[in-house]
Amino acid sequence: MRALLFATLLVVSLAGAGPAGAQNTGPAGAQGPGPAGACVGTVADRPDASTIVSVQGTRTGPEGAFKEQALLVSFAPDGSVEWIQNSTANGKWWAYDVDPLPNGNLLYATTHERHSDVGEFDPETGEYVWIEHFDGPPDAATNPLVGDAHDADLIGDELVLVDKGEGHERILAYNLTADRVTWEWRFEDHPVVFPESGGGPSGDWTHVNDVDRVGEDLYMISVRNFDQVAFVNRTTNEVDLTLGADDDYDILNEQHNPDHLWGPDGEHTVLVADSLNDRVVEYAYDDATDTWDRVWSVSGFDEPRDADRLENGNTLVTDRRGHRVVEITPQGRAVWEVYTPYEPYDTERNAPGSNGPTMREHGVTGRFDLSNDAGFTDAEIARCADELFAFASDDSGLLEETQTFFEAEDTGSGTDGGTDGSGSADGGSGSTDDGSGSTDDGSASTGDDSGSPGDGSGSTLPTTAAVVGLIVVLGLVLGMGYRRFG
C-alpha cells in the first residue's frame, strides 16, 4: 500500500552500529564540489544537466559475489557528486530503475524483504513523497506480491511494471488511484513465443527486466533469458513482433533495458544494451521483409545495462561490470565518463529513456569500438568506491549480516544459477532479495557472516578508532558542501 516514507540519513555514533536515524541534510540548493575526483574519468564535453545513476549494490569477482551498498547518485556536469541517497541504509536490497518525473522528482524501483518497492523520491528534501510496497499475495487484485521488479513506469495514475519469479512471470499495470491491478499479462499464456522448455530455470524462467509503452496499447518488453525483445498488444494480449530468439547470441545475448525510437520512415527502431555481447546496438525493423537490420553498434563495454540516446545524438551507456557511466559519440568516442561502483543499473539525464535521433537520422551506421575512455584499473575503481562509501556510509548493520551471498564455487555459468551468466547476481533465483541469508531456490550459499571478500573491502563491525576515522572523513566531506540522503 502507498504510504508516506521519510528517507533515513545515517548518523555515525561512537556507541557502535545501529539502525539509521531520520535527519535532514539542509536546503535542497546546497551544492558542493562532490568527491575530489577519484570517480571522474574522461570529461571532454560537459552535459547541460545532472546525471542520475542507480547503483545496484553487488560486487563480483573470482572469489564470488558480495553485497555492497545500493545507491542513488546524482553527478554534476563536471563529474562531481551532487548528492547520494543510500538505499541500503533505508533497508533496501537492490537498486534498479530510476526515471525522472515531470515535477523534478524521481520514480525509483528497489527491493525490500523479498518484494518490490516503487516510489516517488524527492531529491530536494531527501524524502519519498509516496511509496508502494508490493508485498501482498501474488494473485491479489490489490497490493499483489511483486518479487523483483527491475523496471516500473508511471503512465498517468498507472504503474506499469515487470514481475519475475516462479508462479508470477508477468507484466502488470497497477492503478494508484483505484489501488488495484488493471492489467496482467502472463508469459505462461504464450507458449508458442515463450515455451516452457526455453529460457532459464523455473525460479528465473524469463528474467523479464524492462517494459516501455511505445504506442497507445503497445508495450515493448525485454525478456533476458529468452535473448529477446517483444512487443505486446494490450488490447489483444498477443505478441505482435519480436527481436531476437532464444540462444541466438549473434542478435542479442541476455540484453537489458531496450529503448524504442521511431525511424525516419516510421520504422520500429530498438536501441539496447546487449549485455553478454559487451556492446550497445541499434536495430531497425523492415516491415516489407519482416526482418531486423543491425544499423549500428559500439563494442568494448563489460556487460552494459542501459543505453539512452541523447538529444545531441550521443548515447549514454551504463556499463555494469565496468562500474561506470559513459557518454559516447556515434563513432564510439567517450566524451563524458564517471565511475559508479559497484555495478550501476540505470542512468537518466533530462528525461526517462531516449529522446534523441536514430542513427539513420543522424547519418551514421556501422560497427565501432569504444575509445578515449579512462579505462580505470580495479585499484582506481576501489578508490572511487571508498570515496563514495565514506560519504554514503552504512551504519545499519545490513551489510555485515548479508555481505557474502555467493561463494566462488556456486556462481555457476549461464542462467542455471540465477546469475547473469558471469557468476554475478542480478536478482535472479540464486540471489537473495532481502538479506535474510536464504535463496529463492536454495541453490546458492546463504548470506550469513561465514564468508567475506578476500580483499577485506566489505562492511565490518566498526571499532572506536574506525568510527572516529569515519567521522573525520565525513566531517571533511560535509564541510565541502555535499548533500547525503539516507
pLDDT of 483 > 60? The answer is no
CA angle 115/118/124 to nearest 5° reads: 140
d(CA 188, CA 342): 34
**Residue 226 vs residue 477, higher pLDDT:** 226
Residue 454: alpha-carbon gap to chain centroid: 26
Higher-confidence position of 161 and 34: 161
Cβ-contact 229, 270 below 8 angstroms = yes
Please say whether the beta carbons of 133 and 145 come within 8 A: no
Angle between helices 378-391 and 464-479 (to 10 degrees): 80
pLDDT reported for residue 202: 86
342 has pLDDT over 80: yes
What is the pLDDT confidence band of residue 397, given thresholds at 50, 70 and 90? Answer: very low
- 474 vs 301, more confident: 301
pLDDT given at position 146: 96
* Residue 302 CB neighbours (<10 A): 13
Task: Give the per-residue pLDDT at 417.
Answer: 31
**pLDDT for the residue numbered 36:** 53
342 preceded by a cis bond (ω within 30 of 0): yes
pLDDT in tens, 171-214: 999 999 999 999 999 999 999 999 999 999 988 999 999 999 99
What is the rounded average pLDDT of the residues 435-440?
Answer: 36
Predicted pLDDT of residue 448: 35
Cα separation, 84 vs 31, whole angstroms: 12
Question: Edge-to-edge strand order for the sheet containing 152-155?
Answer: 152-155, 158-163, 170-175, 180-186
Residue 61 pLDDT level (bands cut at 50, 70, 90): confident
- Compute the average pLDDT of residues 355-380: 97
pLDDT band at 428 (very low <50, low <70, confident <90, very high): very low
For 409, counting Cβ atoms within 10 Å of its Cβ (0-12 exposed, 13-18 middle, 19+ buried), the class is: exposed
Residue 365 has pLDDT above 90, yes or no: yes
User: Is pLDDT of 128 > 70?
Assistant: yes
Computed on alpha carbons and rounded to an integer, the radius of gyration of the chain in Å comes to 21
For position 22, what pLDDT does the model report? 26
Query: What number is the average pLDDT over the span 414-430?
Result: 39
Percent of the chain with pLDDT over 90: 67
The C-alpha cell at 219 is 508495450
Residue 293, pLDDT above cutoff 50: yes
Top-confidence residue, 465 or 412 = 465
Mean pLDDT of the chain: 80
The answer to whether residue 367 scores a pLDDT higher than 60 is yes
Predicted local confidence at residue 9, as pLDDT: 31
Nearest CA among 221, 204, 209, 201 for reference residue 168: 204
How far apart CA 164 and CA 182 sit, in angstroms, is 18
Q: Which of 188, 267, 198, 190 is nearest to 227 (CA)?
A: 198
Per-residue confidence at 480, pLDDT binned at 50, 70, 90? Answer: very low
Q: Where are the domains of the chain?
A: 2-134+248-383
Q: The sheet that has 228-233: what strands, in order across it? A: 208-213, 218-223, 228-233, 239-243
Query: Looking at 101-115, 243-257, 438-452, which range is the least confident one?
Result: 438-452
What's the pLDDT at 60? 84
Stretch 265-274: mean pLDDT, rounded?
97
The dihedral built from the CA positions of residue 90, 93, 95 and 96, taken in this order, carries a sign that is negative
pLDDT of residue 459: 33
Residue 286 is predicted with a pLDDT of 97
For the ranges 164-173, 274-283, 396-405, the maximum mean pLDDT occurs at 274-283
Distance in angstroms (rounded) separating the CA atoms of residues 164 and 139: 13
pLDDT digits (tens, 9 = 90+) for 152-176: 999 999 999 999 988 889 999 999 9
